[in-house]
Structure 1
Amino acid sequence: MNKAIYLALDFPTWEVTEQFLKNNQLHGVPVKVGMELFFREGPAIIEKLKANNHPIFLDLKLHDIPTTVMKAMKNLAALEVDIVNVHALGGSDMIEHAKEGLLKGSSKHKTKLIAVTILTSHDKETMNNQLLIPGELRENAVHLAYTAKQSGADGVVCSVYEAGSIKEKCGNSFLTVTPGIRLANSSLDDQKRVATLKIAKENDADILVIGRSITKAENPYQAYQQAVEEWGNGIK
C-alpha cells in the first residue's frame, strides 16, 4: 500500500464520476470516495468502483460516541475497502471501538484504519483561536497520531509537514496519508497546508491524496501520469 496516489473523486454523482474516469482512461487507479459522493450514491458506489478494480479509500471521517462508531465501522467493514478513517479528536476509546467494529465486520478483509489529526484546511491561527486548541500544529498532530497508534489505528491523515515527525514518534510502518498535494502551478483552493510531490517525498509521506490538481487539469490523464512519475509508484 505504501507510496500510492489516491485520486479524490470529488464529484456529485456516479454518472459524472464514471464519465470522468472513462474519458481520462483512469481505470483501476486508487481513488478516494468522500462524503459528497458516498452520501449521494451510498454503498453502491463502492461496488461499482470495485468492479473496475479501483483500490478505495473511504473518507467519511467518523466522529461520534464509541458505540455508534463501532457499529458504523462494522457495517463499513462489509464493503471491504482498503482504507477508512475517523477523527483522532474522537479520542482513544472511540478509535479502539472503530478498530473493533472493523474486525467484527469482516474477518477476511483487512481494511486499514487511519485517524485524521488536524485538517489541512486549518492553520495554527484557526486551531488556537477558533478551536481553542493551544500549542503548535506539529506537536498536536504528533500527539494525536501517537494516541491513534496506541489505540489500534494503522496510520493517520496529516499534512506533509507533520509526516516526518509522526514517523519518528510512531515508527516507519505507521502510515502517513497526506492530502493537500498540488502539482506545480496548481491553485491552493480551500487548503492552507499544501505541498508538492517533491516536498511529500522529502517529508516521508506514504500515501498521497490528490484532487483538483488532476480533476480540474486541462488533461487529467496527463496530470495523473505526471504525478505518478514524480512519486514513482509504478502505475502507468
Structure 2
Amino acid sequence: MTRPITLVTGTSAGLGAEFARQCAARGDELVLVARRRDRLEALAAETGRAHVIVADLSAPDAPRRLLGEVERLGLSVSRLINNAGFGLAGRFAALPLARQRAMIDLNVASLTELTHLALPAMLARREGGILNIASTAAFQAGPGMAVYFASKAFVLSFTEALHQECRGTGIKVTALCPGPTATEFGEVAGVTSGDFSRYSLDARRVVSAGLNGLERNQAVVIPGLMNKATAYATRLLPRALLRRIVAGLKI
C-alpha cells in the first residue's frame, strides 16, 4: 500500500522552498528534490513530514531514477510540482553551449519525462494534480535570454495541451506563469538589476496563486495585475514590436 505525496522539484531555494512550506501548511506529505542536501534537510526539518531526495534532474535518466526511489519509499505521487529550472542572460552565441543544453535538459526534457512517468498512476486512480512552472517569458520571444524564453514557451504550450487531454479524468493540470519574482533566479541567470528587480513579486504570493489555481484546475495562472496585463498585450502587439521591446529591457 503506497501513501500519496506531493513531489516538488527545485526545493533548495526560491519558489520551490516556498511551495514546500505552503504545501506542508495544507497538510501534504512531501518529497523534496534538489541538488543541495544541506538545504533540503533544513527545509525538511522546517516543514515536517518530508522526504529528501538529492538529484540533478538535468542528468540523463534522472527522472526515472527519482520516481524509482519514490516507489522504493512506499510512496506514490498524487501531486507533481515541476518547479526545477534556471535561466541565463546573454546573447545566444556568447553563452556556453553546455549551459544552454543543461537548461533545455532541466526546463524541458526533465519536466516532460517526470510528467510522463507520474501521470499514468494518477490516471489509474482518477485523481491527481500537475503544476508546471512556466513564466510570463512564455508569451513572447526573448532576445538576450533566447533559450530560456523558448523553454518556457514549451512548458506553457505543453501544459495547456495536457490540461485539455486530462479533462474528465480527475487530473488537474495547471501552468503557473510568474513574472519577475524575488528569489535567487535573477542572481543565477545574471539578471540582478533594472526592470527585473523593480517589478518583482513576493514568492509567497506567486506560490499561493499557483496552488489555488491548481485546486480550481485553471489551465493558466498569471500572478499579479501588471503581469496579466503584459501577457494580454502580447496577443495584441505585432511580434516584431514585441521582440524590440524585450530586447530593450534592462536585464
TM-score in terms of structure 1 length = 0.36
Structure with bigger helix share is 2
